Amino acid sequence: MEQMELLSESESMSVDLQICSDSESLKSWSPDESGSESLPASDMPDIDVDQANATPVANFDTGMAGAKQWPEITMIALSRILSQAVERVHKAFQELLLCKFTTRAVAKRSTLQFNLLMGRSEHVFGDIRDAFPTLEMLGPDRPVAERWALAKRAAANVPRICRCHVACRPPPVTVDISGSPCQPWSRAGQKRRWTDGRSDLLLLWAALMLKHEPPVILHENVSGFPTSVLEDLMQEKYVIHHLRVEPHHVGFTCVNRPRVYSVLVHRSRASVADIPTVYHFATSFFNSVGGGLSIRDCYIGSVEETLEEENFCRRAKGLDMVQTPSRSWECLLTEQQQKYLAKYRETWQQCRSDKEQEPVFDLSQNPARFLKMTTKDGRLPTFRTNTKIWVDGLSRWLLPVEMAAAMAMNYGVLGQPNRQQVGNGMHVANCGVMLAVALACTR
């Protein structure tokens, strides 16, 4: 269960915005020659957040699916923020191409990463399953209604073991961002739904949310996730909006990762406006930049990182170490992976005639069952746990740092990533934009 809690109620945040009075002027926005971000001065009255919130044009809707009209002043305020975000993303693309990612990791060993996390965080809670000692009382053999009742009963007095202070109650938060296990709902997990024991984690999480009642919740899962599940569990206290979200919506045209984000707004603690309209408005800014990342832009691994990856695999196979990266890593593949690769290549020759596309294959998937290769739009296939993405043009698989780049993960901050982290994680750019939209649409 992935969970990040932001902005506790004891914290305050002051933001000054300059809001354009005419949304048409946003279409011609661009950085000035000095490189600073600006909008035409004649269209930029200074309005602070409190004034914007007090303006009577706002048309928020409490307890309904969304307002019919989005307040223009709030839409323009969001556009200002996103204008800056787009420019930063554009600069990040250039840095990725010119400077690549830093190879100076904070910590490569998980124990060191944990110690750093402990030192920088006020609270560090463990696995959600640790908070429910009666987890074994649930299980797929019981009816869902009975499991749900047990989960709510357990959440009422759940102990939380904090790694920083031994035992703490979770502090109140304004926004909860969570991703529940996808296997019960995904095609790869055979869509076992409630008969998959991992679905208990969704029930436990929902029970905790109903106990603590954060004003805003973001929930993420695979595109096949049945949104009616959240509505059945939580619609009594929350207004829920569901959005289909993909990385190319925010400029990451290099990877396929369709997801469903659900924005839950507490009926009595917050008001909500038209989230789908604002999301479309936000993503139009990223699309207006043009370009985006291609698969080849993700090939950022240094010689040192490539050599480290190869020798790690050679060591595991009992082979001699090398001083420079080999031209081909096919000999490092397992016998099964080599068979998969041959089948993928055969299929590629039969069905793909576009020589501009990069042939990329997921060797963790049997092509006879799931054909996971470069999409027709020229994107990397969706990453999964322990995915091994083979690139024929490089005669090797993607390095973890390259997969992290496609997922917008900051390699220099996270330290040495691994495929499991990447396959289980949210796309950072998608999550960030969804958070911005959710906060812009609620008060």
Q: Model confidence over 116-147: pLDDT tens digits?
A: 455 555 666 666 666 665 666 666 677 888 88
CA distance 414 to 112: 11
pLDDT given at position 409 = 82
CA distance 239 to 248: 27
* Identity at 281, one-letter amino acid code: F
CB distance 222 to 186 below 8 Å:
yes
- Identify the H or E element spanning 173: strand 173-179
Q: Pairing state of beta strands 238-245 and 259-266?
A: antiparallel
Domain contains 323: yes
Domain contains 222: no
What residues have CB less than 8 Å from 353, skipping those under 6 apart? none
Asked whether residue 37 carries a pLDDT value surpassing 50, the answer given is: no
CA distance 20 to 55: 15
Which pLDDT band holds residue 191 (cuts at 50, 70, 90)? low
Which pLDDT band holds residue 366 (cuts at 50, 70, 90)? very high
Asked whether residue 20 carries a pLDDT value surpassing 50, the answer given is: no
What's the whole-number mean pLDDT along residues 86-110?
Answer: 43
> Per-residue DSSP letters for 232-279?
HHHTTTEEEEEEEE-GGGGT-TTB---EEEEEEEETTT--B--HHHHH
Domain contains 151: no
CA distance 416 to 319: 24
Asked whether residue 55 carries a pLDDT value surpassing 60, the answer given is: no
Domain contains 379: no
Residue among 117, 224, 188, 123 at smallest CA distance from 423: 188
CA distance 135 to 202: 12
Domain contains 327: yes
Domain housing 316: 302-332
Domain contains 316: yes
| Of residues 97 and 201, more confidently modeled | 201
Domain contains 322: yes
Question: Which 3 state secondary structure label does DSSP give 395?
Answer: coil
Domain contains 312: yes
Asked whether residue 64 carries a pLDDT value surpassing 50, the answer given is: no
The total number of structural domains in the chain stands at 1
- Structure tokens, 290: 């043009």
| Of residues 121 and 337, more confidently modeled | 337
CA 236 to each of CA 63, 136, 402: distance values in angstroms, whole numbers, following the listed order: 10, 27, 43
User: Which residue is associated with the tokens 């993503």?
Assistant: 283
The whole-chain average pLDDT of the chain stands at 72
User: Which residue is associated with the tokens 């917008």?
Assistant: 408
CA 124 to each of CA 135, 208, 347, 423: distance values in angstroms, whole numbers, following the listed order: 21, 17, 47, 22
CB distance 249 to 37 below 8 Å:
no
pLDDT given at position 304 = 93
Asked whether residue 103 carries a pLDDT value surpassing 60, the answer given is: no
- Per 3-state DSSP, what percentage of the chain is helix, strand, and coil (rounded to 5)? 40, 15, 45
